[in-house]
Amino acid sequence: MNVAPAMTQTEPRVVLSARGLGKDFAGFTAVNNVDLDVEHARIHALIGPNGAGKTTVFNLLTKFLQPTRGKITLLGQDITQTKPDKVARMGLVRSFQISAVFPHLTVRENVKVALQRPAGLAVQFWKPLSSLDRLNARADQLIDHLGLTPYRDHRAADLSYGRKRVLEIATTLALEPEVLLLDEPMAGMGQEDVRMVAEIIRDVAQSRAVLMVEHNLNVVADICHHVTVLQRGEIIATGDYATVSADPRVRTAYMGTE
C-alpha cells in the first residue's frame, strides 16, 4: 500500500493567516496591525496581559467580529468578509462554538450529537438519539483517541472538570477542523487535569493547527511551537517560547502579572 509521506517539520504549511488586522471600538483601538501565521500540525499560543486584545483577535479570526482593518486568509481563501458559520464549515472552529456539552447525555451520546452536524449546523433535536446509532463506530473512535473510553457511558455531568474539557474538544473535533481555536483551555483546572489536557492538545495538533489563548505559561512553554505576545492590541514579540520569554519587552509587559 502506498502511504503518503508524513509532512516533515521542515515543510511548514500556513493554514490561517492575518495581515494588518485591526479593530476599533468607538474610537478605541483594541487590536492594531496584527500579522499572524498559523501552521498545520503546530500549536501556536497567543499570550499577553489582561486586556491585551487576545479575545478580540480570536473574535476577529472566527469572524464573530468584523475587522476594522486588515485581511484574514483561511486555507488560501480570503475570509475577511465571510460569515462565522461559513468560516466554521470551511474548517476554522473555536471550541466554545459547539462545546455545548449536554450534561444529561453520556459521553458517547454527546459525541454522536456533535457528529450528526458535521457542517456546523444546529443540533436536530427532533431526531431520537437511537437514530444516531450509525455513528457509534466513529464516535467510539474519537472517544478512544481522546482517552475517554472508560467514561464512554458516563453522563457528562459526572465527569471531572478536566474530562469535561476533553469531551468539549472531542465534540469540536467531530467537525474535523483544519484549525482549532482554544480559548484558555486550562482555565480553572488542577495540575493533573492540566497535564492530561495538554497531552490531548499535543496529540490533536498532530493532524491540524491549534491556536490557543493561554495564561498558564508552563503549558505554553511545554507544548506550543510558536508564541505571539500581544500588549495593548499590538504584537510585541513572536517566535518560540525561549525567544519571546527572553525578550525585554515581554518581560516588562509581564512584570507584576506573572
Ligand X SMILES: Nc1ncnc2c1ncn2[C@@H]1O[C@H](COP(=O)(O)OP(=O)(O)OP(=O)(O)O)[C@@H](O)[C@H]1O
Which residues of the shown chain bind ligand X in the complex (CB under 6 A)?
A: 25, 28, 30, 48, 50-56
CB of 54 to ligand X, least distance (A): 4
79: Cα separation from own chain's centroid: 18
CB of 9 to ligand X, least distance (A): 30
Under 8 Å CB-to-CB from 118, ≥6 apart: which residues?
174, 175, 176
CB of 53 to ligand X, least distance (A): 4
Q: Are 44 and 38 in contact (CB under 8 A)?
A: yes
Q: What totals of helices (H) and strands (E) does the chain contain, helices first?
A: 10, 10
CA quadruple 247, 242, 58, 54: dihedral, nearest 10:
-40
CB of 17 to ligand X, least distance (A): 19
CB of 131 to ligand X, least distance (A): 40
3-state secondary structure at position 28: strand
Specify the residue, 46 or 148, whose C-beta has the smaller distance to ligand X. Answer: 46
Specify the residue, 202 or 215, whose C-beta has the smaller distance to ligand X. Answer: 215
Q: Are 244 and 229 in contact (CB under 8 A)?
A: yes
H/E segment holding residue 128:
none
Specify the residue, 56 or 110, whose C-beta has the smaller distance to ligand X. Answer: 56
Neighbouring CB atoms inside 10 A of 180's CB total: 24
CB of 83 to ligand X, least distance (A): 19
Question: What span, in angstroms and rounded, lies between the C-alpha atoms of 165 and 206?
Answer: 19
Specify the residue, 51 or 150, whose C-beta has the smaller distance to ligand X. Answer: 51
Specify the residue, 20 or 51, whose C-beta has the smaller distance to ligand X. Answer: 51
Specify the residue, 56 or 238, whose C-beta has the smaller distance to ligand X. Answer: 56
H/E segment holding residue 109:
helix 107-115
Question: What span, in angstroms and rounded, lies between the C-alpha atoms of 167 and 181?
Answer: 15
